[in-house]
């Protein structure tokens, strides 16, 4: 079996909007042929998910999750296009999985855009100072700072975090797979995470 390169996976992701593992699986099945891999994704419906991302999603659920012991809980709003899909087991399973993920991973926000400029400025300053201490030139310092900031996003932004039940995919990959399966746009709008004795982490609502 031929090895599938990260470059090929990235190219297929950009073309299809599908998740990393779905792209790798399709490329493996297609023996590395990009066009055949796209056809495979289209047949499974995954490639169609990207096209649905601009469709209005005003239905959905406000889903509560209480961790055993009742000292940790999450209130999550996920939107879809119809009430019918909102009441399917697949959509409810998605809500449960993401709620449990939030409980375990404590993200700061749903998307990058929701993180305050004050937080980002503070992180950038810290990363830049750390890079300067290594004696690198300014152009390298800028790249190092950008790389560390991207890692910060991956660790703290919900849709970019590795999914706790399957670290090979992100939360966004999980949503994309469900969109492909259910045929509707799905959006995480906001969440609140409650832990006994700690400050509540609230995500800002997003525009649908």
Q: What pLDDT digit, counting tens, does each position of 172-186 carry?
A: 999 988 998 888 889
Q: What is the mean pLDDT of residues 83-100?
A: 95
Average per-residue pLDDT in the chain? 85
Higher pLDDT, 157 or 40: 157
Q: What is the mean pLDDT of residues 133-153?
A: 85
Q: Are residues 16 and 45 in the same domain?
A: yes
Q: Are residues 165 and 138 in the same domain?
A: no
Count of domains observed in the chain: 3
Taking the C-alpha atoms of residue 141 and residue 147, their distance in angstroms, rounded to an integer, is 10
Q: Are residues 42 and 137 in the same domain?
A: no
pLDDT at 204 over 60: no
Q: Are residues 107 and 194 in the same domain?
A: yes
Q: What is the pLDDT of residue 1?
A: 45
Residues linked to residue 201 through DSSP beta bridges, in sequence order:
193
CA distances from 146 to 24, 124, 173 (A): 27, 8, 23
Of 97, 198, 88, 203, residue with least CA distance to 157: 203
Q: What is the pLDDT of residue 208?
A: 41
Range of the domain at 142: 116-151
Higher pLDDT, 59 or 3: 59
Q: What is the mean pLDDT of residues 143-167?
A: 93
Q: How confident is the model at residue 33 (pLDDT cuts 50, 70, 90)?
A: confident
Q: Is 36 within the bounds of a domain?
A: yes
Q: What is the mean pLDDT of residues 187-207?
A: 77
The residue to which tokens 């910060």 are assigned: 152
The interaxial angle of helices 89-105 and 171-182, nearest 10 deg, is 170
Q: What is the pLDDT of residue 158?
A: 97
Q: Are residues 69 and 147 in the same domain?
A: no
Q: What is the mean pLDDT of residues 5-30?
A: 80
pLDDT at 207 over 50: no
Q: What is the pLDDT of residue 24?
A: 84
Q: How confident is the model at residue 40 (pLDDT cuts 50, 70, 90)?
A: confident
Q: Are residues 38 and 133 in the same domain?
A: no
Q: Measured over all CA atoms, what is the biggest interatomic distance in the chain, rounded to whole angstroms? A: 59
Taking the C-alpha atoms of residue 28 and residue 4, their distance in angstroms, rounded to an integer, is 7
Q: Is 33 within the bounds of a domain?
A: yes
Q: What is the mean pLDDT of residues 134-140?
A: 78
Q: Is 208 within the bounds of a domain?
A: no
Q: What is the mean pLDDT of residues 69-96?
A: 94
Q: What is the pLDDT of residue 51?
A: 56
Find out whether 73 and 194 touch, Cβ atoms under 8 Å.
yes
Q: What is the mean pLDDT of residues 138-159?
A: 89
Q: Are residues 138 and 177 in the same domain?
A: no
Find out whether 175 and 94 touch, Cβ atoms under 8 Å.
yes
For residues 174-186, one letter each, b for 16 or more C-beta atoms within 10 angstroms of the residue's C-beta and e for the rest, the string is bbbbbbbbbebbb
Rg of the chain on CA atoms, in Å? 19
Q: Backbone phi, then psi, for 161, in 5-degree steps?
A: -70, 150
Q: Are residues 65 and 139 in the same domain?
A: no
């Amino acid at each position: 079996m031929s090895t599938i390169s990260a470059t090929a996976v990235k190219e297929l992701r950009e073309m299809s909007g599908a998740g990393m593992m779905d792209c790798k699986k399709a490329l493996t099945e297609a023996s590395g042929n990009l066009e055949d891999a796209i056809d495979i994704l289209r047949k499974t419906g995954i490639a169609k998910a990207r096209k649905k991302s601009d469709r209005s999603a005003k239905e959905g659920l406000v889903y509560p999750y209480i961790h055993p012991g009742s000292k940790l809980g999450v209130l999550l709003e996920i939107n879809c296009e119809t009430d019918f899909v909102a009441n399917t087991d697949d959509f409810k399973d998605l809500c449960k999985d993401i709620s449990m993920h939030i409980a375990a991973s404590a993200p700061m926000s749903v998307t990058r855009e929701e993180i305050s400029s004050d937080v980002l400025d503070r992180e950038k300053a810290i990363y830049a100072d750390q890079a300067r201490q290594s004696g690198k030139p300014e152009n390298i310092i800028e790249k190092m700072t950008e790389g560390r900031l991207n890692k910060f996003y991956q660790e703290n932004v919900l849709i970019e975090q590795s999914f706790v039940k399957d670290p090979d995919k992100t939360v966004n990959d999980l949503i994309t797979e469900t969109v492909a399966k259910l045929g509707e746009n799905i959006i995480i709008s906001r969440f609140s995470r409650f832990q006994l004795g700690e400050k509540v982490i609230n995500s800002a609502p997003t525009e649908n």
